[in-house]
Amino acid sequence: MYPTKYHKAASIDDAVAALGAGEEALVLAGGQTLLATMKQHLASPSDLVDIRAIDGMSGVSTDGDMLVIGAATTHAEVAGSADVQRLCPALAGLARGIGDPAVRHVGTIGGSIANNDPAADYPAGLLALGATVVTSKRQIGADDFFQGLFTTALDDDEVITSVRIPAASRAGYAKFRQPASLFALVGVFAAQGAGGTRVAVTGAGEDGVFRHVGLEAALGADWSAAAAGGVGVASEGLLADIHASAEYRANLIGVMAKRAVEAS
């Protein structure tokens, strides 16, 4: 690892100031992605701004039937939260299925969505549930937040502070694990609520997480596994790599969509 300067931010303003001051400063949350890339010399930030100790950054609360999850809340905390289990059990299940116990007890929801790995789980959940990302500057709807592989709407000096997730009347998540990494080879999150029927797919898109229009239409008309299974999923625009061809991913999207509905 290259030398770097560590800051423990006391407030959001403090964090934003440190981000602006550093030559190439980055937010540090659980470090489950960032530290690994630094160890491999793939990233060499001049400064790390740890946001986990900032008041109000961690924990789950509710605002009516809206879930409010602090950016530094770990996957294990989300999985174990009674509020999440009550208002959106599919999201608790998603968090429970991330990585392994070590990762779940350190990795955070803010880090996961800021990183926007094309195979990460949370982006599918947030996109399907119509969540809003709250930052040090503004509020960004999930549809605008995720902008392609490892790309988001965030500015360099912008810190995610929380995520607001409206409760869904029905929601299910089905994940097919890539055998080596256990990330999503394909993950489908299907939800129905005030925002209509939304189906988000992770792991499969050439441009990262995306909504599947055909599945949304079919499930909007008939929320059933059979309806999901009846949608022909095309392989255009899907990723192909050593773990799966675009055709296999297309097949898995259909199967996972069925299973997500069954799980809802």
Ligand X SMILES: Cc1cc2nc3c(=O)[nH]c(=O)nc-3n(C[C@H](O)[C@H](O)[C@H](O)COP(=O)(O)OP(=O)(O)OC[C@H]3O[C@@H](n4cnc5c(N)ncnc54)[C@H](O)[C@@H]3O)c2cc1C
- Residue numbers of the site for another protein (CB under 8 A)? 1-2, 40-41, 176, 179-181, 183, 242-245, 248, 251-252, 255
Among the candidate windows 110-118, 224-232, 245-253, 255-263, which touches ligand X by CB under 6 A? 110-118
User: Does 145 contact ligand X by CB under 6 A?
Assistant: no
Q: What share of the chain is helix, strand, coil (3-state, %, to 5)?
A: 35, 25, 40
User: Does 115 contact ligand X by CB under 6 A?
Assistant: yes
Q: How far is the CB of 143 from ligand X (least distance, A)?
A: 19
Q: Which does 1 bind (CB under 5 to 8 A by kind): ligand X, another protein, none?
A: another protein
Q: Which residues contact 185 (CB under 8 A, 6 or more apart)?
A: 119, 176, 177, 178, 179, 203, 204, 243, 244, 249, 252
Question: Which residue lies nearer to another protein by CB, 51 or 250?
Answer: 250
Which letter, b or e, does each residue of 234-251 get, where b requires 16 or more Cβ atoms within 10 Å of its Cβ? Answer: ebeebbeeebbebebbbe
CB distance 221 to 210 below 8 Å: no
- Distance, in Å, from the CA atom of 24 to the CA atom of 238, rounded to the nearest integer, reads 33
Question: Which residue lies nearer to another protein by CB, 82 or 180?
Answer: 180
Q: Which does 2 bind (CB under 5 to 8 A by kind): ligand X, another protein, none?
A: another protein
- The DSSP symbol for 11 reads S
Q: Which residues bind ligand X (CB under 6 A)?
A: 26-34, 51, 71, 98-99, 103, 107-108, 110-112, 114-115, 117, 120-122, 154, 159-160, 182-183
